[in-house]
Amino acid sequence: MAEAPPYSEKLKSWDRFEAERFSRKAPITTPYPFIDIEKPPEYRGIPHINPEKCIGCGACANVCPPDALIMEWDKEHGVKRLTYNAARCIRCARCIEVCPTGAMEPTTRFEIATNNKEDLVEVVEHKLAYCEDCDEYLDFTERQIEYVRNILPREIFHLYALEDRIKLTQEEKMRRTVVKLRETEGNIYSTFILLNTREGGEE
Amino acid sequence: MVTTRDLEAHFEFECKACENGHCSKADVEKILAERKGLKDFYETFKEHIRECKRMTYGQYMFVIDREILPEAVLWWHNHPEFKETHLSTAVGTDERPLNGKFAFIPFLNVQVEPLNMDGNYWVFLKTYMPADDPSFPSVAAKLPAALWIEREVKDLLGFNPINHPDPRRLILPEDWPEGVYPLRKDMDYKHSPITEPKTEYRPTPKDTSLVPMGPVHAGVEEPAHFRLFVKGEEIVDVDYRGFYSHRGIEKTGEGRLTYNQILFLAERICGICGYQHSVSYAMAVERLADVEIPDRARYIRTLLLELERIHNHLLWVGIAAHLVGYDTGFMHAWRIREPVMWLVERLTGNRKQYGMNIVGGVRRDLLDYRKEEVLKVVRQIREDTKKFLDIALNTNTFIKRAEGVGILPYKVAKAYSVLGPTARASGRKIDARLDQATKTAMAYNEVDFKVPVYKEGDVLARVLVRMDELFESIWIVEQLIDQMPGGNIMVPIGDLPEYEEALGFTEAHRGEVVHYVMTGEKNKVYRWKVRAPTYNNLPAIPEMLKGYHVADAPIIIASIDPCYSCTERVQFVDIKTRKVKVLTEAEFNELSIKHKGVF
């Protein structure tokens, strides 16, 4: 298979098919709905969630101006649901900018007319992490924890004892901190470390 | 050459707030001596001025007593030296959660010397009103430019402009109940009560018949309802009811969005001058946060603003040709325009709604190989437009319909604070690109261009102003591409200061766009006010229509390049206003039937 040209080359060489016709003056209209229109590579079309890369952090839902991306928690079933609705999307591509894993993928698709509104909705469901001590689901997903594991250096992990604590709920973590504090009474240094642990675990 | 670094607002001193004039300890004398005219104003109204401060570079605020509000506004507006000074607009704010008062802030674009951005400045005249009696003496009774804005604050905030000549509903729809004020902070942005519709049209004057035009405009394809009162073919008077596309954008912005999300909402206020709104808003927030954006970002913004102006003026001249029945011109103007849209699509990712801005810079860099394409396209446009104008301006269909029609005299233009090409066609030498310090967000101070001004004031003059501007824009684009500096394209903003106010402004294709931003806590916006140029231009339409034929009405209305969506981001409804004396509504209506014309 021939190798695809690099993206920058593609940007330079791309030209719209109407351009040649345009230089000839007439006719310059195109029978649009009956032909396919290719948008330039820079075009901001509707984005698409790649479920394999998505970790369910919700950064996209936080920045989305028109609420086209919504994050919902279903604690009973242990599911965190990211819903993308192309009908609400204004194609500003903020979600693509902020996504930490590149799961929001830009496309050049622009035709979203449909008979069925459900075609426009993309849903990604994530499994929430589970705290066995409290018998409760956490606020964040298993993939988020996995992501934190991968990006945090090993030493920090050990320093804050994250291996044990990362899958605990906020209450359980605080409870354990209090217990630890009692044990290490008077040792200010370790107290300091334990207090900071919470932030590390939350991501 | 002046660069942004020269701005005093960016010098670093020990107390930044003092240096900026925000701080209560800042030296009032020193601030007043900064610009010509401030001292005189202070001396004249000394006993009524409670506070004065510099909000940001070139923007000054006086807190004054409400009794002297009309005098203070008129002092600036009729200043014998500052000829082109105009009442830009006003903001009503519900500041009850902060200090238990309402605030009404008219602001003026003071022009010490036309087109000198370091000499001119904005003046904010802030008036506090007690929560139980939000009333102030009406400025509109003496200055027609304030007509709409006072009706707007009456609708949206429940203020009472005493002795307003035309206190009908302007913005809110007919089926909105009395006494519910959407912009007050105690109302939720989702709340939407409905009652029985109640229309308040002006009665038809005696011996005239009514020709309704609308509710959708024939040429501009946007909702606006003109009621023309005619005697035979001649238009005697006009009533206007608009604000059908009010979307409550300001409330949404204040209610739930963060400051970066509002940017995208601001861009969607208008389908044509979206980028102007976006830049204005970004500029206001950058002024607040006191950040200096990179030079490259300023250049890219200016480039896109000018490309937007080019395609908009071509679009407008097409519509104008269409409305006078010269459809060949319409087709050709839009054909010439299309390559700009294609170019912008490749530069930014979309034909319109560029989405290029972020507070603190731009989001996409301009790749170097694109520069050649920009030049190629604008040069092609220059050639084509020259050819087009050569033909169009020698076509009798076009000239006969445009010449001597819809004349707006200079005095009326000034009294209504008409802006942009409409004002320049009537001899007002104003252009917000150079009038005010746009240099923090745009690079107009570093390029050379002329501001075309015509004296005739008719539709043809408006066509010619726009076409001259188009060639100037092409020239600006060429210079920008030539001078484009390197470097970063954005700086992070971080946290915004709380309860600071600032103004952002650009010269859109129709006039000056103004965004007033007051920050709240936690990086939210407490008050966001948008003033599109059509808001000031539309009240002057009845003055242009009077005395012309019904057949001329579409082209006269279109000649200000009206954009109802931008104007109506907050709802309003207007009707032409006339005689300006202290009257009750009934008396006013009576009088309006008897008299004809104010000027």
**What is the C-alpha to C-alpha distance for residues A187 and A176, in angstroms, rounded to an integer?**
16
Distance from CA of B362 to the nearest CA of A (A): 12
Which domains can be identified in chain A, with CATH numbers?
44-127 (3.30.70.3270)
State the nearest Cα–Cα gap between B124 and chain A, in angstroms: 31
Cβ separation of B264 and A65 shorter than 8 Å? yes
Please report whether residue B178 resides in a domain. no
In this prediction, residue B232 carries a pLDDT of: 82
- Binned at pLDDT 50, 70 and 90, residue B74 comes out as very high
Contact A42 B257 (CB under 8 A): no
> Closest Cα of chain B to A25: distance in Å?
9
Rounded to 10 degrees, what is the CA torsion of B3, B6, B12, B13? -170
- Taking the CA of residue B349 and the nearest CA in chain A, the distance in Å comes to 4
Q: Is residue A19 predicted with pLDDT exceeding 80?
A: no
Between B265, B350, B369, which is nearest A44 by CB? Answer: B350
pLDDT(A187) > 70: no
Nearest CA in chain A to B369: A12
Is A42's CB within 8 Å of B268's CB? no
For chain A, positions 66-95, list CB contacts with chain B under 8 A.
66, 90-94
Among the ranges given (A57-61, B360-364, B491-495), the one the predictor scored with the smallest mean pLDDT: B491-495
Mutation target vs A (from B337, B348, B350, B384; most A CBs, 10 A cutoff): B350
Query: Can you give the pLDDT at residue B5?
Result: 41
B498 within some domain: yes
Residue A1 has pLDDT above 60, yes or no: no
CB count, 10 Å around CB of B597?
A: 13
* Residue A17 contacts B, CB cutoff 8 Å: no
Q: What is the CATH number of the domain that holds B306?
A: 1.10.645.10
Task: Evaluate whether residue B549 is within a structural domain.
Answer: yes
For B88-116, write each residue's pLDDT tens digit.
Answer: 989 999 999 888 899 999 999 999 888 88
B residues 254-273 closer than 8 Å to A (CB): 257, 260-262, 264-265, 268
A67-81, B271-285, B472-486, B538-552: which has the minimum mean pLDDT? B538-552
pLDDT single digits (tens) A47-82: 989 999 999 888 999 899 888 999 998 888 889 999
Reported ipTM: the value is 0.81
Q: In chain B, what percentage of residues exceed pLDDT 70?
A: 89
Instruction: Specify the pLDDT at position B129.
Output: 92
Taking only the tens place, the pLDDT of each residue in B544-568 is: 888 888 888 888 888 887 777 666 6
Out of B33-42, B109-118, B214-223, B425-434, least confident range:
B214-223
- The whole domain housing B452 covers 249-559
Ranges B210-219, B244-253, B291-300, B572-581: which has the least confidence? B572-581
CB contact under 8 A, B257 and A65: yes
**Model confidence band, residue A173 (pLDDT cutoffs 50, 70, 90):** confident
pLDDT at A26: 64
**Position B582 pLDDT exceeds 80:** no
Inter-chain residue contact A94 with B264, CB threshold 8 Å: yes
* Number of domains chain B is built from: 1
Torsions phi, psi for B307 (to 5 deg): -60, -40
CA nearest to B244, candidates B579, B586, B596, B567: B567
CB proximity B27 to A under 8 Å: no
Q: What pLDDT is attached to residue B10?
A: 40
Confidence of residue B18 (pLDDT cuts 50, 70, 90): low
Question: Whole-model pTM?
Answer: 0.86
pLDDT at position B231: 85
Does A19 sit within 8 Å of B264, measured CB to CB? no
Residue bearing the bigger pLDDT, B193 or B107: B107
Mean pLDDT over B2-17 rounds to 43
Paired with A141 in beta bridges are: A128
Position B272 in a domain: yes
How far does the CA of residue B421 sit from the closest CA of chain A (Å)? Answer: 31
Whether B369 contacts chain A with CB within 8 A: yes
